[in-house]
Amino acid sequence: MIVLDTNVLIYAADEHSQRYGKVRAWMQRALDDGEIFGVPWASLLGFVRITTLPSILAKPLSVEQALAYVEQLLGSPQSFVILDSGSQHYPGFARLLRSAGIAGNLTNDAHIASVALANGGRLATFDRDFSRFDGIQIIIPD
């Protein structure tokens, strides 16, 4: 399983991004190879938040466009699955933050990384901060 970070979802949806074509092609190759994409709630929430902000994207999505994109992904349950953190999530999350020795802006990253680890997934991201977490396997989509 490949767990998708927020930034990968954004690049896959933002046609104006320089990474759009590469990320879309990478995702299609992974799907063609039988990969399943796991999407933590934090990644979905971050996607909707960021893609609808005009202060971040030159051409932000409308709320309807952002939600339609999420619904399109979720409409392919054999390829895209929502990854719940579950009631046993906290110990792994706390371990990652403690081992990194920092929280702040890494808090959501630790959550996504701990969900990836709990599900035996590799994390697709462009965010180098994930390398601070022990045990996480990172894939840079290209």
pLDDT digits (tens, 9 = 90+) for 43-69: 999 999 999 999 998 899 999 999 999
pLDDT value, residue 87: 78
Beta-strand runs (E) in 46-134: 80-83, 122-124
Task: Provide the residue range defining the domain that includes 22.
Answer: 2-139
- State what percent of residues in the chain have pLDDT above 70: 100
Which has the closest alpha carbon to 16: 46, 73, 60? 60
CATH number at residue 59: 3.40.50.1010
Query: Is the overall model pTM greater than 0.85, yes or no?
Result: yes
The count of other CB atoms within 10 Å of the CB of residue 9 is 25
pLDDT digits (tens, 9 = 90+) for 101-115: 888 989 999 999 999
Rounded-to-integer distance, Cα 73 and Cα 69, Å: 6
Element (H, E) at 110: helix 107-118
List pLDDT tens digits, range 18-42: 999 999 999 999 999 999 999 999 9
Among the listed residues 139, 133, 100, the one whose alpha carbon sits nearest the alpha carbon of residue 115? 133
Q: 142 and 22 in contact (C-beta within 8 Å)? A: yes
Q: Which residues pair with 38 in a beta bridge?
A: 3, 81
Angstrom CA distances, 126 to 14, 39, 62, 133, stand at: 15, 15, 24, 15
- The one-letter amino acid at 54: P
The number of distinct structural domains making up the chain is 1
